[in-house]
Amino acid sequence: MLLKDKVAIVTGAAEGIGAGVAEVFAEQGARVYLGDIAKEAVEARAASIRGKGAQAFGHLMDVTRTDQVQAVVSAAMDRYGRIDILINNAGIYPRQPFLEMTEQQWDQMQDVNAKSMFRTCRAVTPHMVAQRSGHIVNISSVTFFLGTVNLVHYVASKGAVVGFSRSLARELGTHNIHVNCITPGAIETFGEAAIGVTQEQINEMIGMQTLKRRLHPKDIANVCLFLSSELSSGMTGQTLNVDAGWVMH
């Protein structure tokens, strides 16, 4: 098991990529703390993982609330005395034309998608510094490389994630803390369906990919596993693009 007895926190873990990460990590022996704004759903997800014999705990976590972030960190520290992995996955992606965008919509996007990573990392990194080890993986988006209409606020927030990850890696490297970033492509999730992505749009996206198949949460989860284990011990400050060959750089 690549993560045996490691303690991991995963945000946005009730559904989609976050749930996929939590499940893969649990299979690899991690003790997983799942945080999400959907309290009942995240508790059910954690219970499902425990039902398979793993250790998982579901917590209410609104990543715009410092107190809720700190509560999950404290729960992990109180139980296990360490935090080895942080996966910053929580995010929102409502569409909005720029000419109709309000300042409130802009601010909410930055608060959830970018400032939340400051909150979680600020709560977790002192413990990683004290133990002189840790892995942080921040989830950005392939749209950072593409630019996407009706998502100016989203793409800006995801660009901030890339820059944040690089600079944080520089600062924390002397403490043996790895900070990396993933830019997922079009992932088949419940959230995608909820915002009304059509089959025509899906076919168009697949057409732009080199691998002609849908990507699933486990495709991202497996790369999170790589970046959270000794398999990537020589890597930090990097952005890995997992998009079935849509963008190449």
List residues with catalytic annotation: 154
The residue behind tokens 């425990």 is: 50
Three-class SS state of 163: helix
From CA 31, how far away is CA 158, in angstroms rounded?
Answer: 28
Q: Which two tokens stand for residue 164?
A: 């944040």
3-state secondary structure 20-72: HHHHHHHHCCCEEEEEECCHHHHHHHHHHHHCCCCEEEEEECCCCCHHHHHHH
Rounded to whole angstroms, what are the CA distances from 246 to 143, 207, 209? Answer: 10, 9, 4
Pairs from 156-159 (Cβ < 8 Å, separation ≥ 24): 156/109, 156/110, 157/91, 157/109, 157/110, 157/112, 157/113, 157/114, 158/113, 158/183
From CA 23, how far away is CA 3, in angstroms rounded?
Answer: 12
Three-class SS state of 182: strand
